[in-house]
Amino acid sequence: MTCYRRGSVLLTNAIGLHARPSVRLVQMARQFDADIEIATDPKGPWIDARSIVKLMRVRARRGTTLHIRTAGPDAARALALVHSFAAGGFDGQPAEPAAGELIIIGKSASPGRAHGPVHVLRSAQSSSRARNGDGLQVLRTAIESATAQLTELMARSHDDGLQILSFQREFLRDETLMGGAAASIAAGKDAADAWTEVVQAEIDGYEQSDDEDFFARAADLRDLSIRVTALLNGTMSPDPVPPGSIVFADEVLPSQFLSVDWRQGGALVTRRGSPRSHVALLARSRGVPMIVQAAGLPDRPGETALVDGNNGIVVINPERNHALPAQAKATAGAGRMPARPTVWENSTGGQDEFRLLINVSGADELSGIDPVICDGIGLVRTEFMFMGTALPSEEEQLNAYSLILRWARGLPVTIRTLDAGGDKPVAGLSLGGESNPFLGLRGVRLALANRDVFRVQLRALLRAAAVGPLRVMIPMVTMPSELEAVRELLQQEYAALSSEGVACAPVSLGMMVEVPAAALTIKRFNADFYSIGSNDLVQYVTAAARDNGAVGDVYDPLNEAVLQIISSVVEFGRQSGRPVSLCGDAGADPAVLPALIATGLQSFSVPVDAVAAVRAVIRSVAASRQTQVPPQAHPTDSRS
């Protein structure tokens, strides 16, 4: 059986793999003592990269994921260089690794680039075995302690981290695991062995699943297993990760990721793992570059590494900047604190100004960050305040919003109202047992169904507007009547606060454009501004869940229908004089940004750590536009 080395890369050059790129790829492939094959589907059919006729039949356009596999004496070198060549848009000749450099190809789990010292994160090891006392009671005590630890972490967490920790805590609270462990203890096993056995059985079930999302949840159970076992055995915690490190590991567990301060940079590279894992979700939400399935990753600390999370490339001990593709070079050295604004000269001789805003879930994410890096905050997620044991009061919400507005120092801040439901249930509000919660009572639908709770949030927002310029954004709007119902509630609460003599101020009212029914009839919605929610919009337009690896090739922000819808919303905003921006993963993806810019978008809200990379891509596109026709999202007949 042939042993292949594999990699994949997103084609971002304007013409994809057509005549000139195919010729150059054939010429390169013939230089290696290796079989080199490509495909547009990981299952094949596989095409010989030495055949120009066969390559031209592939017709891999821009936005296509090109899969590469190599075998033979030069397999590793061939994969690294062909991968680099394709990632760089088939531009130039990728240089051979310098002496001492090592190029590893993995799978992108979170975009972005980073450069820094390597820190090897060792797998947790048990150092002792506690056998004293009642085994069942010892285990119960350990589980109670682990639950308390998770609850404490939840109090300091936000965004997806809170959901992940909540998922783990519910597993610990489930008596099913405890019952299986109790039976083993009764049969004579000690607490640690009994616990490990029962959790491993669950892990095995997840890892045997063909569903990548279920497979990825096995890491959460390993996290729980290690946490409880450490409490049973008195295992010491691993050494802390220095800020700015490039972390190498077999696998990183959610609690390990959450314990690292990523605000000073760094990246994550693992030998195992999945782009659908909870850690990958956390990495994307925090702008941490991450590569998984990096076969051949060395276990040597004290080295340096360049990580190109967009293309799944790791360069260890880089000696030359050109070791990464051309696009990587543009942003690998970009500073983490760039100043605004970003402008380019347009076709009329004037200047177009791009606005870069940031996404946050709370004021704690802004600690140590200067507002000069951005043009404001384009998305404040508020639903994570509602996921504790009690709903937040008006004063608690006012304090949270005011802290963010004071940090912004007069820059505009857009706060999204409660976006619960779907994958973010809120106890006491969300409906249980919905057959398809993503199409159920979520976003503004849930808010209007719980108006007493919603009014409290609207009052807090109106009061916070007295601190600084505030825009209120409504999620999951499908019908104009929903937006108007919210407007009426805002007016009522503003009148009530004013009559009570409470300091408040009016706010701009905007909407998320994420439901196709709203996007396609945008002229019917009388919003002050529009924010395109790319995550849900792509999900609903392509009928493909964004967290389901089985349909990962279908969930595509470069889908022509998605880009056409975005273009129409941007054009309506331009005609009506209303701002249009985009928030969501697509806005921080360098492979997608050029196509989004081609739709006319000039405002993006991205994770804090993605600002530098996004600004660099915008400037790169601006430079190319001085001499080239703006790239099309999906060229249909380019064969040059």
- pLDDT (tens digit per residue) in 183-204: 888 888 888 888 888 888 888 8
Q: CA nearest 7: which of 341, 426, 312, 418? A: 312
- Show the domains of the chain with their CATH numbers: 5-94 (3.30.1340.10), 135-233 (1.10.274.10), 246-332 (3.50.30.10), 342-625 (3.20.20.60)
Please check whether residue 618 is in contact with residue 597, taking contact to mean a CB–CB distance below 8 angstroms.
yes
Please report, in range form, the residues annotated as the binding site for Mg(2+).
514, 536
Please report, in range form, the residues annotated as the binding site for phosphoenolpyruvate.
381, 416, 535-536, 546
> Distances from the Cα of 12 to the Cαs of 139, 310, 631, in angstroms?
53, 11, 10
Q: Tell me, what amino acid is at 172?
A: L
Active site residues: 278, 583
Across the chain, how many H-helices and E-strands are there? 21, 21
> Distances from the Cα of 433 to the Cαs of 231, 424, 425, 448, 518, in angstroms?
35, 14, 11, 20, 27
Please check whether residue 40 is in contact with residue 65, taking contact to mean a CB–CB distance below 8 angstroms.
yes
pLDDT band per the 50, 70, 90 thresholds, residue 634: very low
- Average pLDDT, integer, range 519-542: 96
Q: What is the pLDDT of residue 513?
A: 98
Q: CA nearest 115: which of 469, 636, 612, 474? A: 612
Q: What is the pLDDT of residue 57?
A: 79
The CA-to-CA distance between both ends of the chain, in Å, stands at: 39
What span, in angstroms and rounded, lies between the C-alpha atoms of 478 and 10? 33
3-state secondary structure of 142: helix
Percent helix, strand and coil across the chain, each rounded to 5? 45, 15, 40
Please report, in range form, the residues annotated as the binding site.
381, 416, 514, 535-536, 546
* DSSP run (H or E) holding 104: strand 102-105
Tell whether the torsion through CA atoms of 24, 27, 31 and 33 is positive or negative.
positive
- Average pLDDT, integer, range 212-230: 73
Q: Residue 62 pLDDT > 60, yes or no?
A: yes
Q: Residue 49 pLDDT > 90, yes or no?
A: no
Residue range 80-102, pLDDT digits in tens: 778 777 776 676 555 555 555 67
What span, in angstroms and rounded, lies between the C-alpha atoms of 466 and 402? 9
| Helix axes 218-233 and 159-173, enclosed angle (nearest 10) | 60
| 242 DSSP assignment | P
Residue range 318-347, pLDDT digits in tens: 765 433 443 343 333 333 334 454 555 555
Q: Residue 457 pLDDT > 50, yes or no?
A: yes
Q: What is the pLDDT of residue 482?
A: 97
Q: Tell me, what amino acid is at 16?
A: G
- Average pLDDT, integer, range 542-554: 77
**The two structure tokens encoding residue 466:** 């007295």
What span, in angstroms and rounded, lies between the C-alpha atoms of 369 and 258? 19
* Pairing between β-strand 603-607 and β-strand 290-292 as defined by DSSP bridges: unpaired
Q: What is the mean pLDDT of the chain?
A: 80
- Considering the chain, what percentage of its residues have pLDDT values greater than 90? 30
Q: CA nearest 567: which of 602, 537, 600? A: 600
Q: How many CB atoms lie within 10 A of CB 631?
A: 18
pTM above 0.85, yes or no: no
Residue range 5-16, pLDDT digits in tens: 777 777 766 667
- CB-side exposure of 456: number of CA atoms within 13 Å? 13
* DSSP run (H or E) holding 82: helix 75-87
Buried b (16+ CB within 10 A) or exposed e, 33-66: ebbbbbbbeeeeebbebbeeebbbebebbbbbbb
* Pairing between β-strand 313-316 and β-strand 102-105 as defined by DSSP bridges: antiparallel
Residue range 486-510, pLDDT digits in tens: 999 999 999 999 999 999 999 999 9
Q: Residue 424 pLDDT > 90, yes or no?
A: no
**The two structure tokens encoding residue 122:** 């060792």
pLDDT band per the 50, 70, 90 thresholds, residue 59: confident
Q: What is the pLDDT of residue 452?
A: 94
Q: Which residues contact 523 (CB under 8 A, 6 or more apart)?
A: 572
Buried b (16+ CB within 10 A) or exposed e, 346-368: eeeeeebebbbbbbbbbbebbee
What span, in angstroms and rounded, lies between the C-alpha atoms of 354 and 333? 21
Q: Where in 132-266 does DSSP place strands (E)?
A: 246-249
Q: What is the pLDDT of residue 339?
A: 43
